[in-house]
Amino acid sequence: MNKYIIKNANQIITFKGDEAKKGSEMNDLKIFFDSIILIEDDLIKYIGPKDEAKRKFNLDEYEIIDAKDKVIMPGFVDSHTHLVFGGYRQEEFNMRLAGASYMEIMEAGGGIASTVKATKEATEDELVNKAKKVLDQMLAFGVTTVEAKSGYGLFNDVEEKQLKAVKRLNNEHPIDIISTYMAAHAVPNEYKDNPEEFIDYIIEKGLPMVKSNSYAEFVDIFTEKNVFEIKESEKLLNAAKEQGFKLKIHADEIVQLGGAELAAKVGAISADHLLNASEDGIRKMAKHGVICTLLPMTAFSLKEDYANARFMIDQNASVALASDFNPGSCFSNSIPLLFALAGIYMGMSVEESICALTINGAAAIDKAKEIGTLEAGKKADIIFLDAPDYKFLNYNFGVNLVQRVIKSGKTVYQRNLRV
Ligand code: NIG
Ligand code: FE
CA dihedral 235, 237, 242, 246 (to 10 degrees): 180
Question: What residue type is assigned to position 145 of the chain?
Answer: T
Among 134, 156, 175, 60, which residue's Cα sits nearest to residue 332?
Answer: 134
pTM exceeds 0.85, yes or no: yes
pLDDT in tens, 107-138: 888 899 999 999 999 999 999 999 999 999 99
Whether ligand 1 lies within 6 angstroms of the CB of 114 is answered as: no
**CA separation for the pair 384, 278 (Å, rounded):** 39
Whether ligand 1 lies within 6 angstroms of the CB of 324 is answered as: yes
Element (DSSP H or E) covering residue 57: none
Whether ligand 1 lies within 6 angstroms of the CB of 327 is answered as: yes
Average pLDDT over residues 339-366: 98
Question: What residue type is assigned to position 167 of the chain?
Answer: K
Average pLDDT over residues 281-292: 98
pLDDT over 80 (residue 416): no
Among 381, 384, 388, 348, which residue's Cα sits nearest to residue 367?
Answer: 381
pLDDT of residue 293: 99
Q: Where residue 211 falls among pLDDT bands split at 50, 70, 90?
A: very high
Q: Do 73 and 390 contact (CB within 8 A), yes or no?
A: yes
Mention every residue, 6+ apart, whose C-beta is less than 8 A from residue 54.
none
Average pLDDT over residues 325-343: 98
**CA separation for the pair 139, 136 (Å, rounded):** 5
Q: Which of 89, 185, 221, 332 to mutate to test the pocket of ligand 1 (most atoms within 8 A of CB)?
A: 185
User: 3-state class of 48 per DSSP?
Assistant: strand
Look up residue 204 and give its DSSP letter: I
Whether ligand 1 lies within 6 angstroms of the CB of 298 is answered as: yes
Of residues 418 and 342, the one with the higher pLDDT is 342
What residues have a C-beta under 5 A from ligand 2, the ion?
Answer: 324
Q: Do 180 and 216 contact (CB within 8 A), yes or no?
A: yes
Among 81, 249, 297, which residue's Cα sits nearest to residue 175?
Answer: 81
Question: What is the pLDDT of the chain when averaged over all its residues?
Answer: 97
